């Protein structure tokens, strides 16, 4: 999509200045942006993919704590595990301020887990950026979406560029992503905390919060 409004033109320029993810965010995402699996065999022997600890578990609750390190893991039956070939996917996002604009960047993280002691393989790619001005103007730069029935159907090769369509999809992914705790907010949102934003539909919540502040003025 071609930039038409002055705001869109400004965002197209700012979009070029965005840096790659700091390493500490990547380290955090590998731990907290994925539901780590514990794979259960038919005899209920369940192996934690993160530490290799084996436990006997026959319960129906899927979200449990690994006894070894207290990490939250999700029970996956071995049949399912084979079907997904050990691949798990998650979304995470960061909140930053660039040039007075509130920016939410949303990423996909994929992990191929191994139960035999090999290192897990992680892949991270950025999907979308929501740019929100203190006046409430919104522009989205993102990967293009492919036609398809799946919600997050993005081509392997693509550029983060200004998008005029699919806002609902980009909003959905941002709202359902795990938010990196070290957040930066523009001054009109400075009273909000990480806990306010987290889990409330971060993008739509932030837009509502800005609209509210502007209404008060």
- The residue (of 66 and 95) whose beta carbon lies closer to Zn ion is 66
Closest separation in Å from C-beta 30 to Zn ion: 14
- Do 64 and 70 form a contact (C-beta atoms < 8 A)? no
- The residue (of 3 and 51) whose beta carbon lies closer to Zn ion is 51
Q: Does 51 bind Zn ion (CB under 5 A)?
A: yes
Q: Figure out which of the listed residues 26, 53, 115, 133 binds Zn ion, where binding follows CB under 5 A.
A: 53
Burial class from Cβ neighbours inside 10 Å (0-12, 13-18, 19+) for residue 197 reads buried
- The residue (of 12 and 51) whose beta carbon lies closer to Zn ion is 51
The contact mask relative to Zn ion for 65-94 (x = CB under 5 A, - = no) is: -x-x--------------------------
Closest separation in Å from C-beta 78 to Zn ion: 17
- The residue (of 107 and 113) whose beta carbon lies closer to Zn ion is 113
Closest separation in Å from C-beta 177 to Zn ion: 24
Closest separation in Å from C-beta 114 to Zn ion: 14
Size of the site for Zn ion (CB under 5 A): 6
Q: Does 50 bind Zn ion (CB under 5 A)?
A: yes
Stretch of 24-32, 49-57, 135-143, 164-172 contacting Zn ion, by CB under 5 A: 49-57
Beta-bridge partner residues of 95: 104
Closest separation in Å from C-beta 70 to Zn ion: 8
Q: Does 213 bind Zn ion (CB under 5 A)?
A: no
Q: Figure out which of the listed residues 14, 25, 34, 48 binds Zn ion, where binding follows CB under 5 A.
A: 48
Closest separation in Å from C-beta 207 to Zn ion: 39
Residue with tokens 């998650």: 90
Q: What is the 3-state secondary structure (H, E, C) of the chain?
A: CCCCCHHHHHHHHHHCCCCCCCHHHHHHHHHHCCCCEEEECCCCEEEECCCCCEEECCCCCCEEECCCCCCEEEEEEHHHHHHCCCEEEEEEEEEEEECCEEEEEEEEEEEECCCCCCCCEEEEEEEEEEEECCCCCEEEEECCCCCCCCCCCCCCCCCCEEECCCHHHHHHHHHCCEECCCCCCCHHHCCCCHHHHCCCCHHHHHHHHHHHHHHHC
The structure tokens listed for 55 are 């436990």
Residues at the contact surface with Zn ion, assessed by CB under 5 A:
48, 50-51, 53, 66, 68
């Amino acid at each position: 999509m071609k930039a038409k409004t002055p705001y869109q033109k400004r965002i197209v320029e700012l979009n070029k200045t965005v840096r790659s993810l700091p390493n500490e965010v990547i380290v955090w995402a590998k731990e907290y942006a994925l539901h780590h699996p514990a794979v259960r065999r038919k005899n209920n022997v369940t192996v934690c993919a993160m530490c290799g600890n084996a436990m006997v578990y026959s319960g129906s609750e899927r979200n449990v704590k690994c006894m070894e390190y207290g990490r939250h893991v999700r029970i996956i039956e071995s049949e399912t595990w084979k079907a997904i070939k050990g691949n798990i996917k998650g979304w995470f996002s960061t909140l930053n301020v660039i040039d007075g604009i509130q920016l939410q960047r949303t990423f996909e993280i994929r992990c191929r887990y191994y139960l035999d002691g090999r290192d897990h393989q992680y892949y991270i790619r950025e999907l979308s950026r929501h740019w929100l001005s203190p006046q409430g103007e919104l522009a989205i730069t993102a990967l293009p979406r492919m036609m398809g029935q799946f919600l997050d159907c993005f081509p392997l090769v693509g550029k983060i560029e200004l998008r005029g369509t699919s806002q609902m999809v980009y909003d959905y992914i941002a709202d359902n992503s795990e938010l990196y705790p070290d957040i930066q907010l523009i001054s009109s949102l400075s009273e909000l905390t990480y806990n306010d934003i987290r889990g409330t539909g971060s993008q739509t919540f932030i837009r509502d919060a800005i609209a509210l502040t502007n209404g008060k003025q």
